[in-house]
Each structure stands twice: as structure tokens, then as C-alpha cells.
């Protein structure tokens, strides 16, 4: 009996010592772990928050860190969401990549309404005086164009007004079969307007979307038909392409406010949203002349706002293959986005009713790479 107790005691001591030895080895292993042992997903998340110069420094630490740094390296600056105040001259710019807000006093914009943005320039309109002008908020440079009355129509421009090829374009319905096309170039003394034949069911309205792509202005109508204006030949045509096919529930209350159009590398992209459904993205197949639904953006990031939308590549990894909308939640610290990888909105369970959105309240604007060094 005594011998059995001694054996059991010896066995218990052996088990205890073994556990202590294993525990000690685990502690020693944990103590030996370094930053290079971070899980890949966590490492990429951390590195994606770094500035470009710090990303480059991280990439020389080791092969694994080099791979992570390259995968999330920021080459392009994310567009900023610019807010137009109801009162005063203080304008806010939200950077979704850093979740930071910058502010600028811009008294030059008093009494104006935003029309369009491209290449870091704003196109603005003063309803009282019919004054149309370009303004770069980062350089404070202003370029005026001839006065023009914009009534129930939208306007766009092809490229920065400092370029000799810049041209402004707007289209207005005169009758069911006639539209008025108006154009102007910076430096000209007046707008040129011509009435041209229009083919139904295209109808021009303030809810249309405009983009300039491959030398042409594309105009998406309220009902999804596409009009095209060639500024060189001064011709207008309506493409025989049926509108993108969406589920019936997409045409609910305020559905026309949740529609966007952008251009990327010569492709026309259309985004349809509905408050209760995930957005649907279509690309125009210009060879077959049909709309194709896209399940991935292949790493491209879209920035959608009511008056103009933009596309970007080489943004932080967590921003890729997503659509960022001109809505901000959580006191302006989180921009509503939709990830095609996760097939869901971020943040989750948010209201996406575009009816509450003022189309002239904010707009995405392309920022210079070094914009954070400005005197904010």
C-alpha cells in the first residue's frame, strides 16, 4: 500500500514537472517572439496606416515586411470629401484613408453652388449673378468663364481649366425631340449653344450624371439611357443600349438619388444603390453595347457623389475593391463604404436612404499628393 502511494506521488510529481517545463517553454517562446512574428493580416493593417516614407522604411526590415509593405503601399492620394457649409466660409475636407478632417477658410466661394469637380478643380455657379467659375481650393487660384444661366440642368468639364483642351458641357431639354447643347472653353467670351435632334426615351434633367471619357461626354439619364456628345464634331446621339437591369425593389422611394456614374481607364461604370439592398455596379461593354454586372473592381476604388464620381488605384489595401459614398457617420469619423470583397457596407446596419442627402452639400475632390503639408 505504501509502495503504491509512493508511485502515485512520483507520477504526480513527474506530471507537475512536465507541465512546468512545458509552461516554461511556452513563456520562453513567447518572450522570443518579435514584431516579425505578427500575423500577416494584422501586419498589413498596421502598415496600411503609415505614410509613404514610413512604408518604404518598413519594407527594408525583412522579406516578410517588404511583402506586406508593397501590398498596401499608397501611390495615389485618396480623394477628399468636401463639405459646403450652410453658413460661413469654413469648409471641411474629410480624408477617408486617414479618417481625418481638415478645414479651410474659403471666402472666395461665398454665395456659390457646387456643380462638378475634376483634377482637383471645383466648378461653381452663383445663381444670383449667373457667374460660372473654376476654383482650386489647394492653390486658391480662380478662373472665370462667361456668365451662363443654369436652370434645371447639370454641367461638367473635360479636364483642368489650365489645359488648352478644357471644355465645359451642359445639355438641356427644349422639347421631347430637341435638346440644347451648350459648350464653352476657358478664355472664350461667350457660350456656344446649338439645338440638336434627340431620340426618346432619353430625357435630360438635373438628376442626370455626366462623365468625360475617351474624348466624349457621356450623359446618363434618369431612366438609365445614355446620351453621348462629341465636342470635336459637335454631334449628339443616344446609344441603343437598354438601361442596366436592376431588381424591382431598387426603384423605391428616392431611387434616383442613389445612382452614380464614373470613368476608369476608358470604361464607363454605373452604380445603382437601394437602401435595403447591396449596390450593383455595371460596366458598359462598348464592343457589344450592353451593360455587364461587375462582381469585382479588381482592386480599384470608386468615390461616388451626386454631382461627380472618381476612381482610384493603389490606395491602402483595406480601401481597395470598394465604393466610398458621400456620406459620413459617427460624427464625421467614418465614411460609408461598400466592400465587394466582404459583400457588405461598412459600418454595418446603417441607413442608406439617399432621400435625406442634399446633393449640393458635399462632393469628392481629387487632392494633391502633398495636400497635408498645406496651411490647414
The ranges assigned to domains in the chain are 25-72, 111-240
What digits encode the pLDDT tens for the residues 232-272?
999 999 999 999 887 766 665 556 678 899 999 999 999 99
Please give the pLDDT value at position 17: 59
Please give the pLDDT value at position 29: 55
Please give the pLDDT value at position 98: 85
CATH of domain 111-240: 2.40.128
pTM comes to: 0.80
Q: By the 8 A CB rule, do 195 and 203 touch?
A: no
Please give the pLDDT value at position 5: 55
Percent of the chain topping pLDDT 90: 55
111-240 has the same fold as 25-72: no
Please give the pLDDT value at position 63: 81
- Residue 83 clears pLDDT 70, i.e. is over it: yes
Q: By the 8 A CB rule, do 261 and 268 touch?
A: yes
What digits encode the pLDDT tens for the residues 327-361?
766 555 568 899 999 999 888 765 566 656 677 88
Q: What is the 3-state secondary structure (H, E, C) of the chain?
A: CHHHHHHHHHHHHHHHHHHHHHHHHHHHHHHHCCHHHCCHHHHHHHHCCCCHHHHHHHCCCCHHHHHHHHHHCCCCCCCEEEECCCCCCEEEEEECCCCEEEEEECHHHCCCEEEEEECCEEEEEECCCCEEEEEECCCCEEEEECCCCCCCCCEEECCCCCCCCCCEEEEEEEECCEEEEEEECCCCCCCEEEEEECCCCCCCCCCCEEEEECCEEEEECCCCCEEEEECCCCEEEECCCCCCCCCHHHCCCCHHHHEEEEEECCEEEEEEEECCEEEEEEEEECCCCEEEEECCCCCCEEEECCCCCEEECCCCHHHCCEEEEEEEECCCCEEEEEECCCCEEECCCCCCCHHHCCCCCEEEECCCCCHHHCCC
Contacts of 276 (CB under 8 A, 6+ apart): 249, 252
Contacts of 75 (CB under 8 A, 6+ apart): 52, 313, 314
Tell the CATH topology of 25-72: Monooxygenase (1.20.1280)
Quote the Cα angle for 375-124-235, to 5°.
130
Most confident segment among 40-54, 64-78, 82-96, 247-261: 82-96
Average pLDDT, the chain: 85
Q: By the 8 A CB rule, do 47 and 58 touch?
A: yes
Q: Round to whole Å and give the CA distance between 355 and 256.
A: 9
Q: Which residue has the higher pLDDT, 275 or 87?
A: 87
Q: By the 8 A CB rule, do 114 and 106 touch?
A: no
Chain centroid to CA 103: 20
- Residue 193 clears pLDDT 70, i.e. is over it: yes
Q: By the 8 A CB rule, do 210 and 169 touch?
A: yes
Please give the pLDDT value at position 253: 57
- Residue 69 clears pLDDT 90, i.e. is over it: no
Please give the pLDDT value at position 27: 61
Amino acid at each position: 500500500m505504501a509502495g503504491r502511494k509512493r508511485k502515485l506521488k512520483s507520477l504526480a510529481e513527474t506530471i507537475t514537472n512536465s507541465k512546468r517545463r512545458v509552461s516554461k517553454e511556452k513563456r520562453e517562446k513567447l518572450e522570443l517572439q518579435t514584431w516579425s512574428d505578427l500575423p500577416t493580416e494584422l501586419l498589413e493593417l498596421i502598415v496600411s496606416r503609415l505614410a509613404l516614407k514610413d512604408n518604404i522604411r518598413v519594407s527594408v526590415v525583412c522579406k516578410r515586411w517588404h511583402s506586406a509593405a508593397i501590398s498596401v503601399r499608397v501611390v495615389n492620394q485618396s480623394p477628399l470629401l468636401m463639405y459646403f457649409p450652410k453658413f460661413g466660409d469654413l469648409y471641411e475636407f474629410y480624408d477617408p484613408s486617414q479618417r481625418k478632417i481638415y478645414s479651410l477658410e474659403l471666402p472666395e466661394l461665398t454665395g456659390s453652388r457646387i456643380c462638378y469637380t475634376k483634377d482637383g478643380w471645383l466648378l461653381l455657379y452663383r445663381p444670383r449673378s449667373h457667374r460660372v467659375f473654376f476654383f482650386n481650393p489647394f492653390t486658391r487660384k480662380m478662373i472665370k468663364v462667361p456668365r451662363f444661366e443654369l436652370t434645371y440642368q447639370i454641367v461638367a468639364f473635360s479636364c483642368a481649366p489650365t489645359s488648352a483642351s478644357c471644355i465645359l458641357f451642359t445639355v438641356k431639354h427644349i422639347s421631347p425631340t430637341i435638346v440644347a447643347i451648350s459648350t464653352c472653353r476657358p478664355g472664350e467670351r461667350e457660350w456656344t449653344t446649338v439645338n440638336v435632334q434627340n431620340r426618346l426615351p432619353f430625357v435630360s434633367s438635373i438628376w442626370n450624371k455626366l462623365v468625360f471619357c475617351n474624348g466624349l461626354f457621356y450623359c446618363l439619364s434618369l431612366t438609365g439611357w445614355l446620351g453621348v456628345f462629341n465636342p470635336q464634331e459637335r454631334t449628339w446621339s443616344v446609344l441603343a443600349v437598354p438601361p442596366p437591369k436592376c431588381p424591382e425593389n431598387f426603384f423605391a422611394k428616392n431611387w434616383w438619388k442613389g445612382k452614380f456614374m464614373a470613368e476608369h481607364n476608358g470604361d464607363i461604370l454605373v452604380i445603382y444603390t437601394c437602401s435595403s439592398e447591396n449596390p450593383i455596379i455595371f460596366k458598359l461593354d462598348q464592343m457589344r453595347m450592353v451593360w455587364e454586372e461587375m462582381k469585382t473592381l479588381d482592386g480599384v476604388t470608386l468615390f461616388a457623389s451626386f454631382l461627380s464620381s472618381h476612381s482610384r488605384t493603389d490606395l491602402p489595401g483595406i480601401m481597395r475593391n470598394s465604393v466610398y459614398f458621400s456620406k459620413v457617420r459617427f460624427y464625421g469619423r467614418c465614411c460609408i463604404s461598400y466592400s465587394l470583397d466582404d459583400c457588405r457596407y461598412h459600418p454595418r446596419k446603417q441607413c442608406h436612404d439617399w432621400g435625406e442627402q442634399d446633393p449640393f452639400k458635399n462632393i469628392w475632390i481629387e487632392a494633391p499628393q502633398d495636400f497635408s503639408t498645406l496651411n490647414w
